Amino acid sequence: MKKLKQEKQIQEIAKYKYGFNEGELSSFKVEKGLSKEIVTQISKYKEEPEWMLKFRLDSLKVFENMPQPNFGPDLNWINFNDYYYYTEGSDNISNNWDDVPDNIKRTFERLGIPNAEKEFLLGINAQWDAKPVYENLNKELISKGVIFTDCDTALKKYPELFKKYFSKLVNNDDNKYAALNSTVWSGGTFIYVPKGVILEKPLQAYFRINYQLSGQFERTLIIVDDDAQLHYIEGCTAPVYSKNNLHAAIVEIFVGKRSSVRYTTVQNWSDNVLNLVTKRSIVEEDGRMEWIDGNIGSKINMKYPACILKGDRSQGDTISIAVAKNGVYQDAGSKMIHLGKETKSKIVSKSITFQGGTANYRGLAFIGPDAINSKARVECDTLILDNKSHSDTIPQNKVQNNKSQIEHEATVSKVSEEQLFYLMSRGLTEQQALEIIVMGFLEPFTKELPLEYAVELNQLIKMDMEGSVG
């Protein structure tokens, strides 16, 4: 019996494409648990200014006194003293791929990161657990004055710019996990695009958790000045472990006047990761913010990327997918907050559930009293592949003036026998037919991805769906 159980566990691990583990690689690791002493140790080790240590300790007090969220999945079972809050995988950040430690290099090579850098991207930043291990800036970025680095480096090299924007959109008392991130944040991405700079190709960051019962708490801070343009792509993976890992990130994005930012996330955390993140942007007049948000893995995922449409005629868009199989709870959506006049927003949410998974849409469309002549549209579509799975749509739509409008549309459907029969009569197996139906359902999302990422996403979903028939 024990042997059969072990074989089943091995098979489950084998199904997860990025479930490989290169072993313990840490050069520095704090003790397990969360305390004033550990937070101080992290800050001192990183040689941070006194104001950042004070910010961390203040955030710890907020975290300790703040309750768990009163919505979504129950999180009260989490024991925060079970986790390691800082694990450093390498002594130095490298600008040369050849200098990266061999074990870490092998992992990122298997993830395809060097090829992506050569073929597609202007700049790349790879992070292993708490610390970035590799960054490479294209000469074009440097010549245009673009800053693309990790947040720890930005705090030291660009202290005034960093402090001006840090924690201005997501305060340390925003929610319990924002307080946790503010207490122990490390690494992440810092981008500054100067006024008038148009970046034709994307920048990318890649994050990986490699340790059991560890946390990753990166901080992403993006400032795009007036009349500028940026596409940023973020990827996430973790190996499979028997105990849960914790990921609690914060993303703050500032979109200048007449500027455009697209933030693409392809999240493929393994099914033992708790993904509890806060993502928020503020958009000035005539600016545009787009969230392209893919959620495939994680045990629990709570993520609601938001746009604060502050400036007149600003726009916000979110296109997201959530895929939930057995043991996965996706509670995701988006928030659009209209403050400026003639602002526009659109949320398109696609969810797929099978093998007993749960995928909920939770969102907010808010049009304030001064946001006259504004429009918001929400589209929520769910595809349920069996009778064991579950999905709810939980929207909040609020209009506080009589010259604006909100449209909400939601559908829940199952794969019909007629659709399967038609495709199978053309020579496809039932599994192949089901995959085609699912890919068609997700097409509004996948068409927004660069080709190589769309191909990869399709493969990940097909692997997730193995065994969903029968």
What pLDDT, in 10s, does the model give residues 400-413?
Answer: 999 999 999 988 88
Which pLDDT value is given to residue 108? 54
Give all strands (DSSP E) within 326-456, no chain letters: 329-332, 335-338, 344-353, 358-367, 375-384, 393-399, 405-414
The whole-number average pLDDT for the span 142-162 is 91
394 falls within a domain: no
Query: Residue 149: pLDDT band by 50, 70, 90 thresholds?
Result: confident
Structure token digits, residue 231 = 């596409």
The whole-number average pLDDT for the span 62-88 is 91
Q: Which helix (H) or strand (E) holds 206?
A: strand 203-208
Higher pLDDT, 153 or 371: 371
Query: Residue 15: pLDDT band by 50, 70, 90 thresholds?
Result: very low
DSSP alpha helices (H): ranges in 25-138?
36-45, 50-65, 102-110, 113-119
182 close to 59: Cβ distance less than 8 angstroms: yes
For the chain, how many structural domains are there in total?
Answer: 2
Q: Which helix (H) or strand (E) holds 9?
A: helix 2-15
The whole-number average pLDDT for the span 267-282 is 87
Range of the domain at 150: 20-303
Query: Residue 43: pLDDT band by 50, 70, 90 thresholds?
Result: very high
431 SS3 class: helix
375 falls within a domain: no
Q: In whole angstroms, what is the distance from residue 353 CA to residue 128 CA?
A: 30
Least confident range of 201-215, 262-276, 290-304, 324-338:
201-215
Domain final residue, candidates 266, 288, 303: 303
pLDDT at position 96 over 90: no
345 falls within a domain: no
The whole-number average pLDDT for the span 176-205 is 91
pLDDT at position 360 over 80: yes
Q: In whole angstroms, what is the distance from residue 95 CA to residue 74 CA?
A: 42
Which pLDDT value is given to residue 110? 54
Structure token digits, residue 227 = 């009349």
Distances (CA, A) of 245 to 22, 176, 179, 433: 16, 17, 18, 35
361 falls within a domain: no
Mean of the per-residue pLDDT values of the chain: 82
127 and 250 together in one domain: yes
Domain final residue, candidates 303, 332, 358: 303
Structure token digits, residue 230 = 């940026």
112 falls within a domain: yes
172 and 296 together in one domain: yes
225 falls within a domain: yes
Query: Residue 140: pLDDT band by 50, 70, 90 thresholds?
Result: confident
Highest mean pLDDT among 17-26, 93-102, 234-243, 385-394: 385-394
